[in-house]
Amino acid sequence: MKKLVEVKEFDVITYNEAYKDSDQYVYLDEQSFSYLENLIFTFNESEEADAIDFFTVTTKRHIGKVIRAKNYVGIIELKNGVLIQILPKIHGSTSIETKRTFLKMLKSLNNFPTKIFNEANLNTERMNLFEIFIRLYIQEIQMLLKKGMKSAYYEVENNLGVYKGKMLFSQQIKHNTVHKERFYVRYDEYGLNRAENRLIKSTLMKLLKQSISADNVKEIRKLLVNFELVEPSKNYDKDFASVKIDRNTKDYESIIIWSKVFLYNRSFTTFEGNSFGKALLFQMDKVFEAYVGHNLKKFIASEWEVSLQDKGYYLFEKRFGLRPDIVLRHQNEGRIIIIDTKWKLLTNTPNNNYGTSQGDMYQMYAYAKKYETNEIWLIYPMNDEIEHRQDIQFNTDDGVQVRVFFMDCHQIESSLLHLISQF
């Protein structure tokens, strides 16, 4: 059984055994800590722009070296097999509730393969995030099988006793110089052994070895029975290049995205390094932005035009493009509302502007001037310290008003309705 270490965003990790049972720190054995530290240094030395937001390494007096998790959530498998599960810090929730809400949030991401699933049926209390993603993949294949796998003509190269198709002369010379009675040929066959099905079989075979969930292993074995006439992929790159998603293969679209993630150990955020086995990570700023934007669309699309990542305005002439997270344009009244989401925990400190960034305020002011509106909203996630704080707003002497709203991620619908009532 692989060891699972659970970490929340902004938690501090130490290998100092004196803090093994501390409520303030997450303990990680020294070898695993070293692997994680090497992973961070690998990222920070790369050209990844967001690498510095992944983890930070610092030293605390009397404790020693510590690592703080920030901004990215998901799961990492270190080289020694230890799994680190990083969960978002969501107000007022247990680990199980956090995982369920996080999965709801992921459905809003454009590049997340599975859009329809029931969080309550995923055994989130017993599965880590990687196993939950495997379960989503299993469910996608189960739906495919109900509709029926696709057959197609596919190329076969073989050394036969009869001639058919096209002779491959270089292979004929290589293999049949002595056996003149044989023919090395390429020909077409019709069946299930097409690129999409080969990739699925290879993915299932890989996950069968990786999964530590008895339920997932059982379901994978059942699925593999349906792929007995399909060969495993011998060349992932070639088979993925052969996949063409169209009207006839639409049922494969999400499955192929998942297959690529699993077969290449590819995260939804691109990381490379030799200190980990796999990393499925999500940048919470982008997850939160998508979660708010896509859910807001559902409530106000009848009256407002909703533009996500709006383009068209520049700070200077065709330089320094402005791109607010959400722009609302009223279809009749001509009003414009700018909404920017920030995945940051504010504090109940009025003298410190509640922890808002000066850079963010400059950004809001630029939006107000370029879009010619004084209706600007900053949305932050709700947290324990700020829960009962209301009516935070900032006003300039030339009429720009920036209002702050705290979003309850668990109760996104009621929270958004409360926000809309203030427009």
Each residue's pLDDT tens digit, 131-187: 999 999 999 999 999 999 998 777 778 888 888 888 888 888 888 888 878 988 888
Helix axes 195-210, 214-224, angle to 10 degrees: 150
Look at residue 196 and tell me whether its pLDDT is greater than 90. Answer: yes
Mean pLDDT computed over 92-121? 85
- Give the C-alpha separation, 265 to 374, whole Å: 46
Mean pLDDT computed over 271-278? 54
- Give the C-alpha separation, 120 to 308, whole Å: 29
pLDDT band at residue 45 using 50, 70 and 90 as cut-offs: low
CB 269 within 8 A of CB 72: yes
Cβ contacts of 14 within 8 Å, gap of 6 or more: 25, 26, 27, 28, 33, 60, 63, 64, 65, 66, 67
Mean pLDDT computed over 321-341? 93
pLDDT band at residue 43 using 50, 70 and 90 as cut-offs: low
**Which pLDDT score, from 0 to 100, does residue 6 have?**
93
- Give me the domains of the chain, ranges plus CATH numbers: 1-87 (no CATH), 113-151+192-267 (no CATH), 153-188 (no CATH), 284-420 (3.40.1350)
**Which pLDDT score, from 0 to 100, does residue 311 have?**
86
Task: Return the exposure string of 373-410: e unless at least 16 CB atoms fall within 10 Å of the residue's CB, then b.
Answer: bbbbbbbbbbbeebeebeebebeeeeebebbbbbbbbb
Each residue's pLDDT tens digit, 348-400: 999 999 999 999 999 999 999 999 999 999 999 998 888 877 779 999 999 89
Mean pLDDT computed over 201-210? 96
pLDDT band at residue 25 using 50, 70 and 90 as cut-offs: very high
**Which pLDDT score, from 0 to 100, does residue 272 have?**
46
**The two structure tokens encoding residue 46:** 């790369």
Give kind and range of the element (H or E) at residue 274: none
CA atoms within 13 A on the CB side of 357: 13
The CA-atom distances, in angstroms, between 300 and each of 18, 109, 158, 195, 346 are 53, 19, 60, 43, 27
**The two structure tokens encoding residue 165:** 């198709």
